[in-house]
Structure 1
Amino acid sequence: MAGMNQLKTLLLLALLSGLIVLAGYLLVGDEQGLYYGLGFAALSSFGSWYYSDRAALSAFKAKPTPREENPELFDRIEQLSDRAGVPNPKLYVVPSEALNAFATGRDPNHAAIALTEGIIKLLPADELDAVIAHELTHVRNRDTLTQAVAGTLSGSLTYLGRILTLGALYFPVARVGRRGNNPIAILFLLVVGPLAAALLRMAISRTREYAADAGAAEITQNPLALVRALETLESMSQEVPIHGNPAFAPLFIVNPLSKEGLMKLFLTHPPTEDRVERLKALAETQLEKSDALVETSKGLSPAA
């Protein structure tokens, strides 16, 4: 299953890169446009790979936290990291009363977990552990890099379209042969490309959230703690929003943006209700396995 998810992600990222290359071709109208698009996609991918953690943390004014400020929290993160089989991530705190969290970094050795002040203060210990385990699963699965690259490529396509479409409107940039500006290129760059990129990014993010929820249940052996945490975070996320770059919204454990109007069509997270139902099913499976082990041990124990 993990291998199939990785393959799907690679295909989706390839499609995003392909959209940027196609955008370059439509704007210029010849092979040179393909090279421009390919170069732009490569630069965007490299930039997101190397700078994704700093960009995400900076977007939400997250500050590094020394161990002395909260040694108990550091101890719990270290214990959960050991169970997850990943190096201890750096801890950052987002100065917000909102209840949310995210992980970032180009690989497990350069990972960071950011927790809001609100989630540290208000969540019970078992629920906060479940949230941290969710983020550690993202680190273990290298979702932090995938989301960063997907978000950067999507953003690159959108801004490339805006900038170069203006050039196509006012200068002879986008041409088909020598017939003048290409209206198909303008339509693609303004509407079709960004819409397709948003849908692809949404597909990547939703798949990853389900996997991270399952990973948290495995690490903590307490799926219902994450159920309670998700329900609390969902109810509070709209009351106390987080202000920052919306391109990084997929990184958070629950959607930090408004869900009103057309925004519902582009939510990067699966419905919380669906996540809760899956976690409850996992809890039932764990209970059944536990009961089976108890019955087996009784059968193996010597008769009195």
Structure 2
Amino acid sequence: MGYVRTGILMAVMTALFLGVGALIGGQDGAVIALVVAAGMNLFTYWNSDKAVLSMHGAREVDARSAPDLHAMVRGLAEGAGMPVPKLYLIETDQPNAFATGRNPQNAAVAVTRGLLRNLTPEEVAGVVAHELAHIRNRDTLLMTVTATFAGAISMLANFAFFFGGSSNEEGERPMGIVGTLALMILAPLAAGLVQMAISRSREYEADRIGAEICGRPMWLASALGKIEGLAQRIDNVRAERNPASAHMFIINPLHVLGHDRLFATHPNTANRIAALRAMAGEVRQAPAGFAPRRGPWS
């Protein structure tokens, strides 16, 4: 169902883009805006992992500097038949985590110091499995594609401000000043809403597959409840300075309410936990040979 919903939302985004392009500049204007936006996002796609890791002050750790955590990530990745991602640690007391990278062969998982201090090894394993699910699902690629469309729509809306849209045969601009202003405001807003809806859909799917990877849905369910409770009380200064990256984290690192609102980048945590509890009766065994090693975390 998650993939179906994502497909529908992508179709809506595509239709929105084509409709705005036709209103403003016809086919040629839409193509030009898409090419420019795609070029910008392609550059971001190839460099976004380094940029976001640097943005949050993440430092790489390995089997020598964080042996227990590294062994956990390796065990989960190998059990899921995936390449082992690079592992990063973020020095913040807020428990959280995210994944980045353009594909499973060039991926990274970043966890915070607060996550390791406040969660049990089982809960950390659930969180890591969720991030591995994002990597396996190529969600970073999907969100780059949606960002391309959202960027193109915003560019087209800006074109409308300067050019007022395409003229008819009489040289008139049928949109008028009111229509142009409405388009400038509503088109990027609509694109942003669809983009956020896709992000929320992918979180549910990553929860489901992450529970399958670690074999214990309640590990992740327990982690989500604990992370949300602590994240509402503990500041993540770097995330507050860079709110555009908030959608990447397993729980919104910003101090906002976590309901399934129109502008929310994350699903309601209670709904996510309920779905994982429903899975708990179906997935009863962790992967053979895997058990999270207990700290001390490095």
TM-score over 0.5 (shorter chain): yes
- What residue number does 2:282 align with? 285
Give the drift of 1:277. 0.9
Amino acid in structure 1 at the alignment position of 2:249: F
Amino acid in structure 2 at the alignment position of 1:112: A
Superposition RMSD in Å: 2.9
- What residue number does 2:184 align with? 189
Larger radius of gyration: 1
Partners of 1:231 and 1:185 lie apart in 2 by 45
2:153 and 2:188 in contact (8 A); partners too: yes
- What residue number does 1:147 align with? 143
Query: Is residue 57 of structure 2 the alignment partner of residue 61 of structure 1?
Result: yes
- What residue number does 2:194 align with? 200
Amino acid in structure 2 at the alignment position of 1:231: G
Residue aligned with 2:282, SS: helix
Pair 1:51–1:74, CA change in 2 (3 A): same
Q: After superposition, what is the alpha-carbon deviation per residue over 1:126-157, rounded to whole angstroms, capped at 9, x for unaligned?
A: 10011001100111111122123324543553
- What residue number does 2:291 align with? none
Query: Is residue 254 of structure 2 the alignment partner of residue 257 of structure 1?
Result: yes
Superposition pairs of residues 10-21 of structure 1, within 5 angstroms: 10=7, 12-21=9-18
Q: Which runs of 5+ in 1 are unaligned?
A: 291-304
Q: Which runs of 5+ in 2 are unaligned?
A: 287-298
1:52 and 1:148 in contact (8 A); partners too: no
- What residue number does 2:83 align with? 87
Amino acid in structure 2 at the alignment position of 1:113: V
Q: After superposition, what is the alpha-carbon deviation per residue over 1:89-122, rounded to whole angstroms, capped at 9, x for unaligned?
A: 0112223221111111111001111111211222
Q: Quote the sequence identity (%).
A: 36
Moved more, 246-255 or 266-275: 246-255
- How many residues matched? 279
Residue aligned with 2:111, SS: strand
- What residue number does 1:294 align with? none
Q: Which has the higher contact order (CA 8 A, sep 6+)?
A: 2
> Normalising to structure 1: TM-score of the pair?
0.79
Amino acid in structure 2 at the alignment position of 1:214: R
Partners of 1:205 and 1:263 lie apart in 2 by 12
Partners of 1:258 and 1:265 lie apart in 2 by 17
- What residue number does 2:267 align with? 270
> Normalising to structure 2: TM-score of the pair?
0.81
Moved more, 258-267 or 179-188: 258-267
Residue aligned with 1:253, SS: coil
Q: After superposition, what is the alpha-carbon deviation per residue over 1:57-85, rounded to whole angstroms, capped at 9, x for unaligned?
A: 23323232344321221111100101121
Which structure is higher in helix share? 1
Residue aligned with 1:225, SS: helix
Query: Is residue 120 of structure 2 the alignment partner of residue 124 of structure 1?
Result: yes
2:33 and 2:156 in contact (8 A); partners too: no
